[in-house]
């Protein structure tokens, strides 16, 4: 019977190698960790639907004393057992997940934009970025285009925040916008912005979500991008992820 190697020391060369592989971030990231059995299952389901194919499994990491998961055998990758402190270190969380999957991050998919695209721009908090992606996927958006200053969508924290949505749509980055023939809207509370109830949300549609703190200040948007407002009462503005969720829902509601 094959025995699984158990790692308990931070000085172990395999553990140090894994930490080095996942250390890079942003466009330099080549590897990441999918943390927890539920999120790994969500990734596997996305792979079966051929949603993106960007994350390629390399190594299953199982918490010491936990039973093996059926996906370990299905994926056909090596399994290592990690002591609780080592698994907690990799997860960068207070508690250690039962499992983690080390994956390689593949190249962005080329080609034209999808019919409905969410465009986070300068969303710095990985949890907020994950929430934006989750709302977009939940309401039928098919792609995410990330502008400068955005958090790393493949960081473990962003993947947790998206609850698997990052596995359901292609994600790519851009340094500047090149407008196509679609409807381009930037969410903004400006009084001159188009109220969302009056906007044309038919595809092709691109909805931009600005930075959590300063929105579109100091951002030179192309002339063809129009501001889109979600009317509120008693508060000046909405959280970026909440605003994105409302805009995506309204798009889906109109489509139905």
Which has the closest alpha carbon to 168: 146, 201, 135?
135
Q: Name the CATH superfamily, with its identifier, for domain 116-255.
A: SPOUT methyltransferase, trefoil knot domain (3.40.1280.10)
Q: What span, in angstroms and rounded, lies between the C-alpha atoms of 16 and 242?
A: 39
What is the chain's pLDDT, residue by residue, as a tens digit (256 residues)? 356 899 999 999 999 999 999 999 888 999 999 999 999 999 998 877 655 678 999 999 999 999 999 999 999 999 999 999 999 999 887 789 999 999 999 988 888 999 999 999 999 999 999 999 999 999 999 999 999 999 999 999 899 888 888 888 899 999 999 999 899 999 998 888 999 999 999 999 999 999 988 888 888 899 999 999 998 887 777 889 999 999 999 999 998 7
Which residues, 6+ apart, have CB-to-CB distance to 213 below 8 Å? none
> What are the sequence ranges of the domains in the chain?
5-105, 116-255
Which has the closest alpha carbon to 101: 63, 160, 59, 153?
59
Do residues 229 and 196 lie in contact, with contact meaning Cβ atoms separated by under 8 Å? yes
Q: What span, in angstroms and rounded, lies between the C-alpha atoms of 212 and 222?
A: 20
Q: Which CATH architecture has domain 5-105?
A: 2-Layer Sandwich (3.30)
H or E element, residue 186: strand 183-187
Here the tokens at position 35 are 């943390």
Q: What span, in angstroms and rounded, lies between the C-alpha atoms of 174 and 207?
A: 15
Here the tokens at position 96 are 């250690």
């Amino acid at each position: 019977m094959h025995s699984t190697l158990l790692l308990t020391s931070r000085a172990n060369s395999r553990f140090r190698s894994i930490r080095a592989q996942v250390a890079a971030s942003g466009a330099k990231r080549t590897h990441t960790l999918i943390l927890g059995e539920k999120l790994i299952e969500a990734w596997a389901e996305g792979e079966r639907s051929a949603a993106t194919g960007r994350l390629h499994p390399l190594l299953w990491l199982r918490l010491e004393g936990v039973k093996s998961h059926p996906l370990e055998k299905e994926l056909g990758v090596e399994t290592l057992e990690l002591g609780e402190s080592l698994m907690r270190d990799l997860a960068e969380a207070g508690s250690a997940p039962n499992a983690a999957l080390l994956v390689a991050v593949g190249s962005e998919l080329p080609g034209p934009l999808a019919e409905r695209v969410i465009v986070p721009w300068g969303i710095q908090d990985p949890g907020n970025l994950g929430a934006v992606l989750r709302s977009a996927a939940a309401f039928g958006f098919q792609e995410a285009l990330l502008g400068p200053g955005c958090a790393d969508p493949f960081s473990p924290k962003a993947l947790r925040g998206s609850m698997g949505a990052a596995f359901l749509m292609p994600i790519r980055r851009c340094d500047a916008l090149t407008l196509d023939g679609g409807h381009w809207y930037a969410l903004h509370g400006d009084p001159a912005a188009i109220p969302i109830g009056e906007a044309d949300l038919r595809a092709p549609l691109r909805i931009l979500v600005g930075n959590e703190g300063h929105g579109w200040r100091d951002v030179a948007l192309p002339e063809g991008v129009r501001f889109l407002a979600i009317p509120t009462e008693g508060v000046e503005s909405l959280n970026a992820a909440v605003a994105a969720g409302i805009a995506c829902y309204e798009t889906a509601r109109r489509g139905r």
